[in-house]
Structure 1
Amino acid sequence: MRIGILGAGGMADALGTRWAAGAGHEVMVGGRDADKAAALAERIGGGARAGSFEEAAEFGDAVLLALPYTAAREQAGVLRETLRGRVLIDCTNDLGPGFTLAGGGGPSAAEGIAAAASAGGAEARVVKAFNLCHEGVWRLTPPEFGGRALAVPLCGDDESALAVVRGLVKDLGCEPVSGGGLGRAGLLEATAALLIGLWVGEGVDAQAIAPPLEFAAG
C-alpha cells in the first residue's frame, strides 16, 4: 500500500518506520521543511521518499495526519480535493491546559478535520486511530504487554476505510477494535486527555483503573 504521511515528527517517524521497514508499505513523508522531511524519509528506510504536503497526500492511498491538530485541520482543508476518496487517518489530540480538551466539549478534532476535508463537496473518509499512545509505544516490535497485544480502537463511518486502517493496525502487531462511528471519536479524544493526565500529571499506571473483562459487568 502507498501511505502518505503529513508531518515529520515523532509519530510520523514511529508509524512510518514500522509500516515501511516492518510491513513493506511504500511511504512518502510530506512537510513544510524539505530537509527535515528528507532526513526522516532516509531514517525510515525501506525506500521511503520525501516531498511536500501536497505530494505526500497525492501519493498515498491512505494518508496519516501526523501534525498538531490545528495544522492537521488546516492541511485537510487546503488539500481536500487531493484527499478526495483517500483514507485519512487522524491521530491528533487537541489538548488544552491541564490535560483538558481544547474544544471544550464541542465537535471532536476528528469531526473538525472531516468537516475541513469535506468543504466544497469533497468526500472525507476519516478514521480516528493511534491517538492513545506515545510515539515510543509504536516503536515497539510488537507493542505487546504481558503477552497481550495492544488493542487500538478505531472510529469512522466508512467501512472500507476502516478495513484499510484495521490492516495497518495489524501490521504493527496490534489488535484493532471498533470504537463506533466518527461521532464517537470525541470519546477517544477524551480518553486520551484522561490517560495522559494520569500518566504525565499524576504518575499513575492508567491500566490499573479498569478491571479485567470478566469482572467488568459485575
Structure 2
Amino acid sequence: MRIGIIGNGAMADALGTQWRRAGHEVAAGSRSGGLREAAESGTDAVLLAVPYEAAVQVVAELEEVLRGRVLIDCTNPVGPGFALLTAGGPAAAERIAAAAPAARVVKAFNLCHVDVWRLTPPVFAGRPLAVPLCGDDEAAVSVVRHLARDVGCEPLNAGGLDRAGLLEATAALFIRLWVGEGADAQAIAPPVAFAGS
C-alpha cells in the first residue's frame, strides 16, 4: 500500500516504521514541509498523526487532497488533568470527518503509548494487542484492519464513527490510570468468559 502520514512526530515514526517493515511505501510530512505531498502520496491510506489541537485545522486545509481517501485518526483529545477536551461531543474523529466530509475517516491506534507501537510485534503474555476500529465505510475499515494486522495486532470492530467518542474517552481514562495512578488499566476488564452474555 501507499501510505501518507500527516505529521512527523513519535506516532508517525513508530507506525510508519512498522508499515515500512511490512513492505508498504510510506511518506511523512509536517506543517513545516511536505504536508500536502505526504497526504497526496497516501493513495491507499493517510494517517493523521498531529496533536489533536491542530488536527481539525490541518485536515480542513487538506480537504481537497483527502477527498475519497482513507483517513486514520489516531489523535487523543486529552488535556491537562487528563480531561477529555471533547466532553459533550462531538468526538474528535467526528470533528475531523466534518472538516473533510469526503474523506473516509477511521478511528484507530489511539489507545496506546507510542512505545507500544515500536514493539515488533506488540504481544503481551502471548496475546497480540487488540486495536479497536470505528468507521462508517466498510472498505476503509478493511484497509485499517489490514494495517493493524501488519503491525502484529488483532483488529476489533468497535462500531461506526459515532462510537469513536467512546474510544477517545477510554484513552482519557486509561492515560489517567496509567500515568496519574500508576495502575494496571488492563485489570479493570475480566476475561470474556466472565463478561456476561
- Aligned partner of 1:153 in structure 2 is 132
TM superposition shift of 1:23: 0.4
TM-score (structure 1 length as normaliser): 0.88
> What SS is found at the alignment partner of 2:111?
coil
Is residue 2:179 matched to residue 1:180? Answer: no
Cα RMSD over matched residues? 1.0
- Aligned partner of 2:41 in structure 1 is 59
TM superposition shift of 1:106: 1.4
Could you give the per-residue CA deviations for residues 25-67 of structure 1, whole angstroms, max 9, x where no partner exists?
A: 0011111234xxxxxxxxxxxxxxxxx1110111102100000
Gaps of at least 5 residues in structure 2 are none
Is residue 2:189 matched to residue 1:216? Answer: no
Could you give the per-residue CA deviations for residues 76-97 of structure 1, whole angstroms, max 9, x where no partner exists?
A: 1011111001100000001122
Gaps of at least 5 residues in structure 1 are 35-51
Which portions of structure 1, spanning 4 or more consecutive aligned residues, are displaced by more than 6 angstroms? none
Is residue 2:101 matched to residue 1:102? Answer: no
- Aligned partner of 2:18 in structure 1 is 18
The total of aligned residue pairs comes to 196
CA distance in 1, matches of 2:186, 2:87: 26
- Aligned partner of 1:71 in structure 2 is 54
CA distance in 2, matches of 1:73, 1:64: 14
TM-score (structure 2 length as normaliser): 0.97
CA distance in 1, matches of 2:161, 2:171: 16
Larger radius of gyration: 1
Identity %: 70
